[in-house]
Every structure is written in C-alpha cells, then in structure tokens.
Chains A and B, each alone.
Chain A
Amino acid sequence: MTASIASPQQNWLLLVLRLRTFVALLLVLAYFSVMAPNFLSAANAVIVSKHVALNAFLAIGMTFVIITGGIDLSVGSIVGLCAMVAGWLVLNGVDLGIGYSVWFNTWEIVGITLLVGVGVGLVNGLLITRLNVAPFIATLGTLYIARGAALLSSEGRTFPNLSGTAEMGTASFPVIGTGNLLGLPVMIWLLVAVALGAHYVSRRTPLGRHIYAVGGNERGAALSGVKVDRVKLFVYMFSGFCAGLVGIIIASQLQAAHPATGETFELNAIAAAVLGGTSMSGGRGRIFGTIIGAFVIGILSDGLIMMGVSSFWQTVIKGVVIVLAVVIDQAQSRLQARVALAQEAAVGR
C-alpha cells in the first residue's frame, strides 16, 4: 500500500540512487575488464583486493566516526606509529634498563600494537568529550603527535628485516600480511571479519543505534538516555583499532617499518566513506556502502594504472568521482524525503 503513493518512475529512480555505489562499482569493473584484458583475472583480483583492504579497514572505522558527526584525521599517523611499534618489538623487544630485554611473540606484539592504536583513539575521544575540543582539531593534533612519535622512535630511519625468528616466537609475523588461508590472503579474511563485525554492531546492537542517534541529533539522543560520551569514546577507539591493524599488516607485508607509513591515508578513508553514502553531517552511512566505496576507489586507481593513465590524471579523476558521489547523494536524500512526505501526507488526511 505504501509503494502506490510514489510514482513507479520515482521508485525506480530511488532504487538506482540508493544502490548508486554498487552501480558505480559494476560500471568501473565492466569498463576496465573491456579496456584492460588482464583486469578480471583471479590473480589480479587478489592483488586489487589487497590494495583495497588497507583503505577499507580505515574507512570502516572512519564511517562510525563520521556517523556520529565527527572526523578522525589521525588514522594515517596511527598507522605509521603502530607499524613502528610492531617493528620495534620484533627487532628490539623492550629494554628494561637493567641489562635485560623482554621479547614478545607474534600474538603479544599484535595485542600490544593494537592497544597503542586504541590508546591514541582514546586520547582523541577524551579530548573531544571531556575537553570539548572540536573533532577536526583534536585529531589534527594527534595526527602530528603520533607522526612525530613514529619519527622519534627510529630517528627517521626504517626498521628493516622484520622476518622474525623462531626462538622468539616471531617467525609467524610476516604471515599476517603475506600469508594465505583457504586460498585467500589472511588480511582479506581479517577484513571480512572486521567488516561483518562492524556491520553487525551498526545494525543489530543498541550501541550501533546510539551511534546513529548521536549523529542525527546529539541533544535529542542525550535527552533520550543515550550516553553520548561513551558512544563517542567507542568510535574513536574503534577507529584507532582499525588503524593499528593496518599498521601491523603493512609492517608484516613489507617486513619493514618506515615512520612515514600511512601519510594521507586518512583522506582516502574519508573518500571511501563518503563515496559509500556516509553523510558528513552525521546520522547516515552503512558499513557495506563504505566497503563498496573503498573498492570503487581502489579499482579506479589500479585499473587506470593498468591502462597506463598518468598518475596525475588519476588524482583528478578520483576527485571528480568523490564530488559526483556527494551530488548524487543530495539528490537521493531530497527524493527520498519527498516520497516519504507524500506517503505520510496521504495517511494523515
């Protein structure tokens, strides 16, 4: 009964607009498989997915942050810092200062590094909730601090040869970024797990509902009993967790840690989230949308490389796609609001 209010064309258009990121994904896929013959091969698909995965992790965390109406500029720096922390622990362990060092195995290193990422996120969250610093400024500050800390850790040098040793229990360290499980890279399985978990939280838990409510109307949410500060702390800590994971994966993949790792990653993460339909004003966004957004960006750049398009043009094209996505997003919101109004007006009468 509800569908009859909107015209069939409106419904059709609304469906296309709603699935626009998916449509865009199919379009770029189709285009590149025609233009670059090897593009659709299984081997290439795995390579592209690995590129996309790094951005997708960050974009998932970013999506939660943006849904609450915030922004996290520090993720790229957290990636760098966590890569250095992991590298340091593999290479040097922790010097206790009394002539002894403590060494950790792979699992412990992963745990400690993730805690560092979550810790930076916690600092972001505390600055924003307790000290009322605007998210843009707070995370801009931690962007510099974390990057500085990463550079200080090695005085700007790279930690090389992170292949690990069996006697320290770190021989498995390279597996995280390079290993395969059931025919797929380990990091892809990790991405699937994080994405499914994030999707579940966003759709099927009170915490997820509260994240949307805080972004939709912070005051209204607070008056409804939502613990706004806790929700914000969670999203920044989760974003830090995702960034920490990416830092570990990169260090493991390269078997080296460089302090400049992750520079400008935050911008790609924001782009993927926005492309996937996340609203910068808060309250709207979906995890799967973001992941498709990350794939569109990743496929676009990899495909253009395979076609031999200059990297300068790639940058321009990426920008155009992002702006276009937001323009279409506006059109969808307007149409959706019109259809809903028409439906409700018909009932109200």
Chain B
Amino acid sequence: MTDHPIGLTIRGGVKVYPGTRALKGVDFDLRMGAVNVLVGENGAGKSTLMKVIAGVETLTEGRIEMEGREVHFRSKGDAVKAGIGIVFQELNLFPNLTVAENIFIGHEPVRAGVDIDQAAQANATAALMRRLEQDITPDTPLDHLRVGQQQIVEIAKALSQDARILILDEPTSALSAAEVEVLFRVIAELKAQGVGIVYISHRLDELIRVGDYITVLRDGEITGSRAMAGVDIPWIVRAMIGEKTKEFPRTTAAAFGDEVFRAEDVTLPRAGGGFAVDHVNLSVRKGEIVGLYGLMGAGRTEFLECVMAQHPASRGRMFVEGAPLVERDVAGRIARGIALIPEDRKRDGLVQIMAIRENLTLSSLGLFTRLMHLDLKAEAAKAMEFVKRLTIKVASPENPVSSLSGGNQQKVVIGKALMTSPKILLMDEPSRGIDIGAKAEVFRTMRDLAAQGLGILFVTSDLDEVLALSDRILVMANGRISGEFPAGTEAATVIAAATPSFKKDQAA
C-alpha cells in the first residue's frame, strides 16, 4: 500500500459549464498500480472529473500534471497518447464487427497505409485476451458475447493503445455476480502490472472491496480523500451527503386517502435468465408520494414500463382503485387513470418537431373530438389552460417543443400526463437534466398534485430527492423491493437497502 507512485495529479481543478460550476477547485492524486475509487451522488462532479482526465473536457482553471510536468489534453486523442484509457458506462462497441475489429477500430495495423494486417490484428488481440485471461477468440462477432465479456473487450481496447491509466465508469452496473468476479480478477492483474485504475461506482460494498484509495465528491468539491484501510459505509455516506439534507418545499403530511394503485407479484424476465423485475408488490394511496429509490439497473424503470404495458412478457396483477387492470395497451391504461412521465424526454416523452400545443394534447385528443372532428379552438384553449396552470414559459404554443428549455419541456410532459385526468402518476427521474430552479418548481408541482388527491410513484437515483419528497420510500435492488421506509428515515439505512450484499456482510 505504501509504494504507489502518483501517476497523475490535478491541482485546483475548476470546470464551469454555462450556469453551473461542476468542479470547484479539486485536488486529486491518481496512484499507479492501485485502484483509485471515485464516489459521489449524481451531479457531484465525478463524470466531469473523469472526462477532464480522459481529455473529453478541458479544465476552466487549474492544471493537470503527469510525472511532474504539466499536460494539456485538447482531445481524447491527446489523452490516449499520454496512456489514458476510459471505459464508459455505455459501451462504445460495434455489435456487427468481430472482437479484433472492435479492439483496433480507428487504429488498425495496416500495410502500405490501406491494407489491414489481419494476422497482426488477430495476434495482438489473442495476446490481449491472454493477458486478461479470457477465452475469447479474436474473430468472434461481438454480439455473440455476454455484456461482461463485452466490457472486457472495451478494457482490451484501452490496453491495446498502451493505457497506463484506465478509467472505469460504473463497470458493474450491467454485470451479473459471476461477471463481476471476473472483472475484479482482471482489475487485480492490471494493478499488479502497474496500471493505475480509476473506478467509479455507486455500489459502496463493491468500492470498499476493490479500492485502495477513495475520493468522495459532493457538489463539485472533494469531501473526503484517503487510503481505503479503515473506511466503512457510514464514513462514505457522511462524506457523500454531509450532515444536512438539501431543502425542498415540504407541506405537512396530509392524511392519505384510499389505495389508488396496487401491483401484485409483477415479474419481467430478463433476456438471458433471471428477472429484471422480480415479484414486485407495492401500493400507492391517494395523495401519497411514494419514492422508489435504487441504483442503475435495479429494475425501477422496467417496473414502470410494465405498469404502462410496454412489456408483453411481463406477468402479475395490477389494480386501480381496487378494480383489476386488464387493458393490454397504453391507450387503455391511460383511460384507466394511469399516466407515465418517462425518464428520457427526448426519446419517450415528446414529439420534438411537433408544436407545444400538439404535444400537450397528444394523449387527450378525445376531449376535443366529436365523431371524427377535432375542435381546434377547444384544443388550443385547453393547451393554454395547462400552460398557465403549470407556468410553462412559452412565447407561442405553436412553436416546436424542441425550442424550450429542459425544465419547460419537462412541464409539457407533465401537462400532457395531467390532461388525461390520471389517478396515479408514474414519474421516472422527474428532475433529470433540468436546472435547480426548474427542479424546485417540478417538486412543488408534485406536492400540489398530491394535495389534490393524486397518487404519485416516482423513481429517482438522487438520495436527497427521495428523502425530501417522499411520504414513503421504497428501495429496489436486483429487481426486488429490498426495503420500505417511512419519511424521515436515515440516509444510511436507505443506501444500505439499495446495496443488496451489504446487509449480508453486516450480518456475517
């Protein structure tokens, strides 16, 4: 533990984006032959710091040094030349090409400048696979590999460019337990070969196991940095979220009404075995805000999609106000009073090239239709009513929705859902990609809606958010509901439930 040379340092690192300071004077040492763990909540600045190291972003202020000399990475290529490789959470691979082709894409060994040296490429790939102790032949098509093996191909890709520093962003979020073990063995070998590894994850038990050094980020500042020896989960949680929680508008807890939605035994098989949603039971009452917390890949989004009839393979029973939900299509479920606000506004929530008015009314055209005739006046009036009610800032409801800011777009999605007069609102990461001011407004809207008797089930990965907003907290891990807590529960308890193997370790 003592002789880990520092391979890269950042001093006074500041990164300013329009409107936010993502990094506020960060000092970071990256040690070679060791695993440098980076942890923090969403938006704490982990990704920014990592992108700065990998040359994807440049620092606004401060400097980066390698071996005592200041370095400037203007592009990812510069960082690669300096021996820095990065494996993003979303794999950047080509499923239609072979393993060897994937590894050498963009830097193929060529003869005479044009002809790819297939033999050299295959040999180098085979050597890399031996180094990583993988039984994968170079000409295997990538889409024949499991996700865990694909991840290792990504690592091999970085190593093929002589990476001495390897950044892994949430490498285990899509892996099975066995694949995680393989990855950890690979990491141990790389360490022994002197590679400096930056390891980013939300899974705290994993961090403690694999890490040699830990750095905790909160709101762009480093709140803890030390060797891993003696670190425990309570220490990490304290450093991550501090003693206080952020303030969100909060009304006094109202008396809740009757149960408005119940799911019983909902399951969704995962491709390749197991369950993405594993026998989930939950219920929401009128006027209640239920927060569904969990890590990426816990199955929360998939559960909401099951409720919205997006997975024909899902099984289980659902009830709205006690009556079974038998409708098999989205329109039928909307008619029964279910509304979904999807996580990805661009992809799922809005039709970007349509007008703001057309987006608002898309789910409720029946309100303005007699026989086949659409009453455009009534439609425009209703759209304006919702623009005012949700204080959506628009110049003209006829402009395309894509011209709005993220926060206002989110309000359009909410407006579209509310126009269907839902009884239960499903919200998937409702504050993703919108600024702090808009966030507070969205949360206030959620409170108001609950006060009007709507049941709300919202998914979030933000601990502050789930603690501040929820009347009741449900935690999901590995497709199962792994905990249920009342409002005012300790942060550490909630995190522990989201990290499934942690409880086991505590008990042992």
Please tell me if the beta carbons of B372 and A207 are within 8 angstroms of each other in the complex.
yes
Q: Is B95 among interface residues, defined by CB-CB distance under 8 A?
A: no
From B340, B351, B393, name the one whose CB has the most chain A CB atoms within 10 angstroms.
Answer: B351
CA distance A223 to B333 in the complex (A): 10
Q: Is B369 among interface residues, defined by CB-CB distance under 8 A?
A: yes
Please tell me if the beta carbons of B351 and A213 are within 8 angstroms of each other in the complex.
yes
Q: Is A97 among interface residues, defined by CB-CB distance under 8 A?
A: no
Contacting residues, chain A, for B331 (C-beta < 8 A): 225-227
CA distance A219 to B331 in the complex (A): 13
Contacting residues, chain A, for B408 (C-beta < 8 A): 344, 348
Contacting residues, chain B, for A226 (C-beta < 8 A): 330-331, 362
Q: Is A194 among interface residues, defined by CB-CB distance under 8 A?
A: no
Q: Is B66 among interface residues, defined by CB-CB distance under 8 A?
A: no
Please tell me if the beta carbons of A204 and B350 are within 8 angstroms of each other in the complex.
no
Of B82-90, B140-148, B220-228, B395-403, which binds chain A? B395-403
A266-300 toward B: CB 8 Å interface, digit per residue (1/0)?
Answer: 00000000000000000110000000000000000
Closest chain B CB from A234 CB (angstroms): 12
Q: Is B122 among interface residues, defined by CB-CB distance under 8 A?
A: no
Task: Give the nearest-CB partner of A336 in chain B.
Answer: B400
CA distance A201 to B374 in the complex (A): 9
Contacting residues, chain A, for B330 (C-beta < 8 A): 222-226
A202-235 toward B: CB 8 Å interface, digit per residue (1/0)?
Answer: 0011111110110011011111111100000000
Contacting residues, chain B, for A190 (C-beta < 8 A): none
Interface residues on A, range: 20 to 34
Contacting residues, chain A, for B404 (C-beta < 8 A): 344, 348
Closest chain B CB from A163 CB (angstroms): 39
Closest chain A CB from B244 CB (angstroms): 31
Q: Is A316 among interface residues, defined by CB-CB distance under 8 A?
A: no
A223/B340 contact (C-beta < 8 A), A206-B369, A213-B354 known: yes
Please tell me if the beta carbons of B348 and A219 are within 8 angstroms of each other in the complex.
yes
A220/B350 contact (C-beta < 8 A), A204-B376, A337-B403, A344-B404 known: yes
Q: Is A314 among interface residues, defined by CB-CB distance under 8 A?
A: no
Name the prevailing secondary structure of the A interface residues. Answer: helix
Contacting residues, chain A, for B395 (C-beta < 8 A): 1-2, 5, 343-344, 346-347
Q: Is A340 among interface residues, defined by CB-CB distance under 8 A?
A: yes
Please tell me if the beta carbons of A223 and B396 are within 8 angstroms of each other in the complex.
no
CA distance A283 to B359 in the complex (A): 13
CA distance A201 to B400 in the complex (A): 21
Closest chain B CB from A214 CB (angstroms): 9
Contacting residues, chain B, for A213 (C-beta < 8 A): 351, 354, 358, 362
Task: Give the nearest-CB partner of B308 in chain A.
Answer: A223
Q: Is A341 among interface residues, defined by CB-CB distance under 8 A?
A: yes
Q: Is B414 among interface residues, defined by CB-CB distance under 8 A?
A: no
Please tell me if the beta carbons of B405 and A348 are within 8 angstroms of each other in the complex.
yes
Contacting residues, chain A, for B354 (C-beta < 8 A): 212-213, 216, 283
CA distance A236 to B149 in the complex (A): 43
Closest chain A CB from B405 CB (angstroms): 5
Contacting residues, chain A, for B352 (C-beta < 8 A): 216-217
A186-207 toward B: CB 8 Å interface, digit per residue (1/0)?
Answer: 0000000000000001001111
Q: Which of B340, B372, B396 contacts A205 (CB 8 A)?
A: B372
A209/B394 contact (C-beta < 8 A), A220-B351, A223-B330 known: no
Task: Give the nearest-CB partner of A219 in chain B.
Answer: B348
CA distance A347 to B391 in the complex (A): 12
Closest chain B CB from A212 CB (angstroms): 6
Please tell me if the beta carbons of B353 and A216 are within 8 angstroms of each other in the complex.
yes
Closest chain B CB from A341 CB (angstroms): 5
A312-349 toward B: CB 8 Å interface, digit per residue (1/0)?
Answer: 00000000000000000000000001001101101110
Task: Give the nearest-CB partner of A214 in chain B.
Answer: B351
Contacting residues, chain B, for A222 (C-beta < 8 A): 330
Closest chain A CB from B339 CB (angstroms): 10
Q: Is B294 among interface residues, defined by CB-CB distance under 8 A?
A: no
A5-33 toward B: CB 8 Å interface, digit per residue (1/0)?
Answer: 10000000000000000000000000000
Contacting residues, chain B, for A337 (C-beta < 8 A): 400, 402-403
Task: Give the nearest-CB partner of B332 in chain A.
Answer: A225
Contacting residues, chain B, for A348 (C-beta < 8 A): 393, 404-405, 408
Contacting residues, chain A, for B399 (C-beta < 8 A): 340, 343-344
Closest chain A CB from B467 CB (angstroms): 29
Task: Give the nearest-CB partner of A338 in chain B.
Answer: B403
Closest chain A CB from B426 CB (angstroms): 11
Please tell me if the beta carbons of B348 and A223 are within 8 angstroms of each other in the complex.
yes
A209/B374 contact (C-beta < 8 A), A2-B396, A220-B351, A340-B403 known: yes
**B residues lining the A interface (CB < 8 Å):** 308, 310, 329-331, 334, 340, 342, 347-354, 358, 362-363, 365-366, 369, 372-374, 376, 393-396, 399-400, 402-405, 408, 416, 420
- Extra contacts besides A206-B374, A217-B347, A227-B329 (14): CB < 8 Å: A205-B369, A205-B372, A206-B365, A206-B369, A209-B365, A210-B365, A223-B348, A284-B353, A343-B395, A344-B395, A344-B403, A344-B404, A344-B408, A348-B405
16 contacts between A and B (CB under 8 A): A2-B396, A206-B366, A206-B374, A209-B358, A212-B351, A213-B351, A217-B347, A217-B351, A219-B347, A224-B362, A224-B363, A226-B330, A283-B351, A340-B399, A344-B408, A346-B395
